Amino acid sequence: MKKLLLIFATVFLLFSVIACKHSGKETETILTTPVNTVHTENETTKEVFSNDLGEQMEVIINHTKNTATIRLDGNTYELKKNESLPEYTAHNSEYQYSNIHGNIIFLKRDYDMVLFRSKKSRSSESTKMASY
């Protein structure tokens, strides 16, 4: 019995030493490959304006790309922001969109023809009354 216990202890010790040496020889290597992906999230705002005639114009402004997409009467117009004009103004070779102090105008540039005009309602300011 003592002989069997001694053999078992020796085998256990031998396996323990081999196992410790084996894990020590392995080195963990982490391969990293650079990923050249640029994650840009487009910051967009969407507004729907309506005029006195009941027509609606949808304006989607992409602040990342500085573009405006106008949807009016089933047509879509892509315009580029113009930095030289005041407030938010965008245009292309044929059309111009402007939102200056809440006065929204979409016009055809060649003929100076206004296709859509709307004024943001300032109902909260007009209903303020002085209280004494």
pLDDT tens-digit profile, the chain (132 residues): 778 878 878 877 767 766 655 444 454 444 444 444 444 567 889 999 998 888 999 999 998 898 999 999 999 999 998 888 767 899 999 999 998 888 999 999 888 788 999 887 654 444 555 555
Q: Is the pTM of this model over 0.85?
A: no
Q: How many residues does the chain have?
A: 132
Q: Are 56 and 48 in contact (CB under 8 A)?
A: yes
Number of Cβ atoms within 10 Å of the Cβ of 69: 17
Selection from 70, 119, 74 nearest residue 92 by Cα: 70
Residues 6+ apart with CB under 8 A from 69: 59, 60, 61, 62, 76, 77, 78, 79
